[in-house]
Structure 1
Amino acid sequence: MKKDFYLTRYALIIKKLESAPATYSQMEDYLLNSFEFQDAGIKSYSIRTLQRDIREISDLFNLSIHNKKKGDNRYYIESRPMMEVDEYNQKLLESFQVSNALNNHPDFANFIFFESRKPTGVEHFYDLFFAIRNKRIVLFEHYNYKNKLMTSRKVHPLALKESKDRWYLIAIDTKDKALKSFGLDRINYLDVSPQKFREKYKYNFREHFKNAFGVMNLTEQNPQKIVMKCSRHQGEYIRSFPLHLSQKETKETQHDIYFEFFLHPTYDFMQEILSFGKEVRVLEPINLVEDIKKHLQESLNSYLKE
């Protein structure tokens, strides 16, 4: 068995057991017939290897897999981790699966094409994660796209948030004591100070972000019910890849699919809706409808001026 193949085995085992419990024989048959095993030329998988893999999966992914001692002797996932840990596990599995495919096949560049993107600042991720866990004051230079200025910041780091393939630091700016977000891709000269901050902030960011779309909601605006009508074509995409955790499908006709959300009607969400063009129409709340109309009219006016 290839030593560098274990991550792929873990991913396949979890995938199989998430769909249904399985005996060792069923698991062996599934693995040996997978494209991953065939591609790697692996033709055997022992029960001792399965038992060892299950122990490693438990340690790495916090998944408890057991074997029914009586009856059919099927393996099954006994418990699921908390939602936030489960999200981490999914990201980890995705990374492992892609990484394994690339490492095992040096000619991947002929078949796999990534989006061309600029660096996202993830080189600062662990330093900031350390600072958050240990309540360390952080200093850095931050670039503002709007005024095109680089400013010095001294902050109390509180959380890291992902949004649209970008990472953001959520922190208290010591200059004005305000809660702000800073794009990691715009941070330079990061310094984690040995000095700790003593303030005990009471933010519950899981609750804070639950009804938010994008990085964060910095206003005192309350979440609202948002109803929108989508063309069937676009609605199928939104159905298969929800825009937000609160998304609910409320109605379906021959030509349209209706969705309902409960979140802050922020500028980020309005921009997302506008990206669908005429395929999506917001029906309520009226204030969001009016904001979208105003934005569309201003966009049209900018073209008419030419």
Structure 2
Amino acid sequence: MKKDFYLTRYALIIKRLERSPATYPEIESYLLNSFEFQDANIVSYSIRTLQRDIKDIANLFNFDIHNKKKGDNRYYIESRPVMEVDEYNQRLLESFQIMNAVNSQPDLAQFVYPETRTPRGIQNFYDLLFAIRNKRILEFQHFKYKDQSITSRKVHPYALKESKDRWYLIALDTKDEKLKAFGLDRISDLEVSKAGFKLQQRFNLKDHFKNAFGIMNLEEEPEKVVIKSTKEQAEYLKSSPLHHSQQIEKETEKSVYFTYDLYPTYDFIQEILSYGNQVKVTQPKSLIEKIKETLKQSIQQYDDSASDQ
């Protein structure tokens, strides 16, 4: 079976079991009759592959598929409270399900219009997942935008993270023993070593990402951030929170105040600026000053535009 088809299988298995518990023959029939399997000309799906897929789904999406064994021998997804579902795994799962829905019907291009920007570097996605799951050392060349330099890296891969249509490898750089983020679009000459590594317990990625916004400095402490939003913009923020820690502090006749527990990174500042006059930061003072300085520099660029002629 094609190695690049595994994500499609995962999404289909999850979709079937979200509907109701199912036996292996029922799952096999569902997969083989799906448009995805038919388009890929796949005509068999063994119980051994199902058992392997179930283990991989548990590792990738952080939830378990169980088998009742006694009685009807059906597989089912363990139900959990919504708040326990990991934010990043849920995003990943939703993305795969959308991708499969679009790819299953070529004529959907007539009435489905996704973003035209596609993430670069994802040709290494499978190899990176393999290295992460099997704890294999990675070696690659990494291009740095800031000084246009290329450096050789040897890392212990820990996770993959998406931010603003870009994917990043979160890995321990063996040169200085620091956790870093490497853009997949800037990775080349990737080699998966046969040598393995042991995870360092001092790095708890769930804790690191808990207060993350975008790709941030993983060692910074979170702060309480308060923003004031117009009523209209607040409806968008309520339906699609900026961060999982978002809470409503208070509402007035014209405004809604939201609080966040995160470290205000460059990515977060850019996000706030994208809302223009619909959103204003009221706390902390240090973040207010950073935003004011950014806005001053932006205005200055336009004031100096005459000199560019």
| Structures share fold, TM-score greater than 0.5 | yes
SS of the aligned residue for 1:125 comes to helix
Q: Which region of structure 1 is more displaced relative to structure 2, 238-247 or 294-303? A: 294-303
* CA distances 1:68-122 after superposition (whole Å, capped 9, x unpaired): xxxxxxxx9872289456863664355335524542x432221112211244322
Give the equivalent residue in structure 2 for 1:295: 294
Give the equivalent residue in structure 2 for 1:179: 179
CA contact (8 A) 2:64 2:77 kept: no
Give the equivalent residue in structure 2 for 1:36: none
CA RMSD between the two structures = 3.5
Give the equivalent residue in structure 2 for 1:96: 97
SS of the aligned residue for 2:227 comes to strand
SS of the aligned residue for 2:237 comes to helix
Aligned partners of 1:164 and 1:228: how far apart in 2?
A: 21
**Pairwise mapping of residues 9-88 of structure 1 onto structure 2 (< 5 A)?**
11=15, 14=18, 62=64, 79-80=79-80, 83=84, 88=89
Check 1:184–1:102 CA distance in 2 against 1; reply closer, same or farther (3 A cut): closer
Identical amino acids, percent of aligned pairs:
48
Check 1:301–1:90 CA distance in 2 against 1; reply closer, same or farther (3 A cut): closer
Aligned partners of 2:264 and 2:282: how far apart in 1?
A: 13
Give the equivalent residue in structure 1 for 2:281: 282
Letter paired with 2:100 = S
Letter paired with 1:294 = E
Aligned partners of 2:12 and 2:129: how far apart in 1?
A: 28
Give the equivalent residue in structure 2 for 1:167: 167
* CA distances 1:35-82 after superposition (whole Å, capped 9, x unpaired): xxxxxxxxxxxxxxxxxxxx99xx67746799xxxxxxxxx9872289
SS of the aligned residue for 2:241 comes to coil
Letter paired with 2:97 = F
Aligned partners of 2:157 and 2:170: how far apart in 1?
A: 6
Aligned partners of 2:210 and 2:87: how far apart in 1?
A: 16
CA contact (8 A) 2:144 2:150 kept: yes
SS of the aligned residue for 1:79 comes to coil
Aligned partners of 1:132 and 1:78: how far apart in 2?
A: 25
Letter paired with 1:244 = H
Aligned partners of 2:15 and 2:79: how far apart in 1?
A: 17
Give the equivalent residue in structure 2 for 1:228: 227
**Pairwise mapping of residues 68-217 of structure 1 onto structure 2 (< 5 A)?**
79-80=79-80, 83=84, 88=89, 91-92=92-93, 95-96=96-97, 99-100=100-101, 102-103=103-104, 105-198=105-198, 200-217=200-217
Check 1:100–1:170 CA distance in 2 against 1; reply closer, same or farther (3 A cut): closer
Larger-gyration structure (1/2): 1
Aligned-pair CA distance for 1:214: 0.9
CA contact (8 A) 1:8 1:97 kept: no
Letter paired with 2:286 = N
CA contact (8 A) 1:11 1:97 kept: no
Aligned partners of 1:294 and 1:120: how far apart in 2?
A: 32
* CA distances 1:96-155 after superposition (whole Å, capped 9, x unpaired): 35524542x432221112211244322212212222233322111111122222222111
For these two proteins, the number of residue pairs brought into alignment is 253
Check 1:141–1:248 CA distance in 2 against 1; reply closer, same or farther (3 A cut): same
Check 1:304–1:225 CA distance in 2 against 1; reply closer, same or farther (3 A cut): same
* CA distances 1:230-280 after superposition (whole Å, capped 9, x unpaired): 111111111110000000011122221110001112111111111111111
Aligned partners of 1:86 and 1:119: how far apart in 2?
A: 20
Gaps of 5+ in 1: 18-54, 67-75
CA contact (8 A) 1:247 1:261 kept: yes
Give the equivalent residue in structure 2 for 1:254: 253
CA contact (8 A) 1:8 1:100 kept: no
TM normalised by structure 2 equals 0.70
